[in-house]
């Protein structure tokens, strides 16, 4: 029997010998490499924290002591050590284990926010609560990566923690010199000096200046050394930083030799017994790839266009732009708020910045979009990748709040391309707009074949036009395919439907509002939240114009959606051709009954 199979809870770790601990670490890596290569997920980060996680659970008594992980995708090892080994093969699948920390799965998973730089604030609040209630015997330990310290929120927490010498919070700095990409900026240089020092406190460091005790640097792959450092930190009392040096991707040559991201994320590989997958047609590149290619073309045409990334140049499609125009590519680290405010400064300096980010992380910069960008009418283009349902990464990574949040920003223009061709066109329109901010959003996955318009009127495209003017279908971005399918099904039921793509969904096109008056019904379809989404804005525009055509909005409910494939999550929300068609026909039948 494998040693890992005998570990049902952290207490089972404490009687193991050094040789057994080494064996356990090897087994954990083997299990993760095998399972994650089949399911897909965050492999490199977890390979780097195997020994650290083992040491944490041997020194501290979780859940009596509280372990907080700043990035929930680094908790695969903790899952394996806390009774979830049997379900690990179902990682990131519908009804299987989450790819992040999950409070529903285990009492050892205390927080599940997967956005970086937050754990120290949780730790400060939790420690304060226990201090006020007299519950001071339980340790609070926060594990945070060096890359996450480029986020301003982390320093707000450090400021508060360091100013409370009586508050015994242990900050474990997991220093692997990178987040997704190598850590950038002055902090990276400072940590490099600390790593090269010998012994504890070889020179003054920023953490001691903030009021923390400091232990390290320590080899994060030496379990005994990490345990000793953690024990000393606990004995010191007060806030302490334990500086642990690890290697992302440790123990897997494929990751160790991958200089780009150390296999930060690996894609699922179908089992050997599965039938060979049909190759995607050449006309179906990834949305990100289309954006990447067009950005390079735009960069060649316009020397004033600069690109900004928050430590994710390759995932958001800016790597090729960076290679072509390194001086015009800015990596700010994990600092989305700074990225947005800096973009405003670049615009004030006469440049046109394109800030590319995952839609879920765009939530963090809404204040900067309002008061730093829009208030100054700064021509900044925000490109949000993975907008809408992303699926297997779960609730925190669905990009479903962007339209609700950003539609509230005055004078903003938001575009949602339906295919690769419209992505290219809308991106060029966005960077050509100099009167204020623009947003371009597109989903995860491939574009599919281009969907041609049969007509274009005052900025919106007509994709399908059946006689009858029974239903006007306003589709948002990639939901055009679903809208066309629904129109076909309605036609088979004797209902005439017209499908339009607004292209620019904000502000609402007044000509499209006027057109809605000639239809009996309007439905909107979007892969974003129904509350405050495009459908809600369109319905408000109709009401403001005195048009009483009833509007039915199809989109995502106001709830956190469980992980699963994009198709599974959309189906759960009723966003299928069958579901939308049935809902429309049922409503039309009900209205006929009421008026008969």
Q: Any idea which residues carry the catalytic annotation? A: 248, 336, 364
Q: How far is CA 48 from the centre of its chain?
A: 21
Name the nearest CA neighbour of 407 among 308, 541, 500, 554: 541
Please check whether residue 377 is in contact with residue 25, taking contact to mean a CB–CB distance below 8 angstroms: no
Name the nearest CA neighbour of 140 among 115, 104, 116, 164: 164
DSSP for 88-143 reads GGGTTSTTS--SS--TTT-TT------STT-HHHHHHHHHHHHHHHT--SS-EEEE
240 φψ region: left (φ > 0), alpha (ψ -120 to 50), beta (else)? beta
Residue with tokens 């609402």: 508
Pseudo-torsion of CA 535, 466, 455, 547, nearest 10°? -40
Name the pairing type of β-strands 455-457 and 460-465.
antiparallel
* CA dist., res. 135 & res. 518, Å (int): 67
Residue with tokens 């045409």: 301
- Partnered with residue 523 across adjacent β-strands are 473, 552
What is the token pair recorded at 513? 């509002």
* CA dist., res. 555 & res. 107, Å (int): 33
129 Cβ contact partners less than 8 Å away, ≥ 6 residues apart = none
What is the token pair recorded at 438? 């623009």
Give the chain's length.
596
Please check whether residue 566 is in contact with residue 444, taking contact to mean a CB–CB distance below 8 angstroms: yes
3-class DSSP state for residue 24?
Answer: helix
Please check whether residue 41 is in contact with residue 99, taking contact to mean a CB–CB distance below 8 angstroms: yes
* CA dist., res. 37 & res. 20, Å (int): 26
* CA dist., res. 313 & res. 326, Å (int): 11
């Amino acid at each position: 029997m494998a040693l890992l199979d005998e570990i049902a809870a952290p207490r089972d770790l404490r009687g193991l010998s050094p040789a057994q601990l080494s064996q356990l670490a090897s087994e954990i890596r083997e299990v993760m490499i095998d399972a994650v290569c089949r399911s897909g997920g965050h492999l490199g980060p977890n390979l780097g924290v195997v020994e650290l996680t083992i040491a944490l659970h041997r020194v501290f008594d979780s859940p009596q002591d509280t372990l907080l992980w700043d990035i929930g995708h680094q908790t695969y090892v903790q899952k394996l050590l806390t009774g979830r080994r049997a379900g690990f093969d179902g990682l990131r699948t519908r009804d299987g284990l989450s790819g992040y920390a999950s409070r529903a799965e285990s009492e050892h998973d205390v927080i599940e926010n997967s956005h970086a730089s937050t754990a120290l604030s949780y730790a400060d609040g939790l420690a304060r609560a226990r201090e006020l209630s007299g519950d001071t015997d339980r340790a609070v330990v926060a594990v945070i990566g060096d890359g996450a310290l480029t986020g301003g929120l982390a320093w707000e927490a450090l400021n508060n923690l360091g100013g409370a010498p009586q508050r015994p919070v242990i900050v474990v700095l997991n220093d692997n010199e990178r987040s997704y990409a190598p850590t950038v900026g002055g902090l990276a240089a400072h940590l490099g000096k600390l790593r090269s020092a010998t012994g504890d406190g070889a020179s003054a460091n920023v953490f001691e200046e903030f009021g923390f005790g400091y232990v390290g640097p320590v080899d994060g792959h030496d379990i005994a050394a990490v345990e000793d450092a953690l024990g000393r930190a606990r004995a010191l009392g007060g806030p302490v930083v334990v500086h642990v040096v690890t290697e992302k991707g440790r123990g897997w040559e494929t990751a160790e030799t991958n200089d780009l991201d150390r296999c930060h994320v690996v894609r699922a590989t179908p089992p050997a017994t599965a039938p060979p997958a049909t190759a995607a047609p050449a006309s179906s590149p990834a949305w990100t790839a289309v954006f990447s290619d067009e950005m390079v073309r735009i960069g060649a045409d316009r020397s004033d266009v600069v690109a900004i990334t928050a430590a994710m140049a390759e995932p958001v499609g800016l790597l090729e732009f960076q290679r072509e125009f390194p001086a015009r590519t800015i990596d700010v680290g994990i600092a989305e708020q700074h990225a947005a405010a800096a973009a405003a400064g670049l615009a004030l300096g006469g440049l046109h910045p394109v800030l590319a980010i995952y839609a879920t992380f765009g939530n963090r910069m809404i204040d900067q979009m309002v008061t730093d960008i829009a208030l100054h009418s700064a021509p900044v283009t925000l490109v949000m990748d993975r907008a809408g349902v992303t699926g297997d990464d779960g609730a925190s990574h669905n990009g479903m709040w962007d339209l609700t949040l950003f539609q509230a920003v005055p004078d903003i223009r938001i575009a949602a391309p339906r295919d690769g061709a419209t992505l290219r066109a809308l991106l060029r329109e966005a960077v050509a707009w100099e009167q204020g901010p623009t947003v371009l959003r597109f989903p995860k996955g491939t574009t599919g074949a281009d969907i041609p318009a049969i007509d274009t009127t005052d900025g919106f495209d007509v994709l399908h036009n059946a006689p009858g003017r029974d239903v006007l279908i306003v589709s948002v971005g990639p939901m055009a395919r679903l809208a066309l399918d629904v129109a076909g099904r309605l036609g088979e039921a004797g209902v005439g439907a017209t499908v339009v793509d607004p292209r620019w969904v904000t502000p609402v096109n007044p000509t499209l509002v006027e057109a809605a008056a000639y239809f009996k019904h309007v439905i909107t379809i979007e892969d974003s939240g129904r509350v405050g989404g495009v459908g809600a804005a369109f319905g408000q525009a109709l009401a403001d114009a005195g048009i009483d055509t009833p509007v039915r909005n199809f989109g995502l409910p106001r709830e956190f959606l469980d992980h699963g494939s994009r198709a599974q999550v959309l189906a759960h929300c009723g966003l299928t051709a069958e579901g939308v068609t049935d809902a429309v026909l049922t409503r039309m039948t009900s209205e006929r009954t009421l008026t008969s």
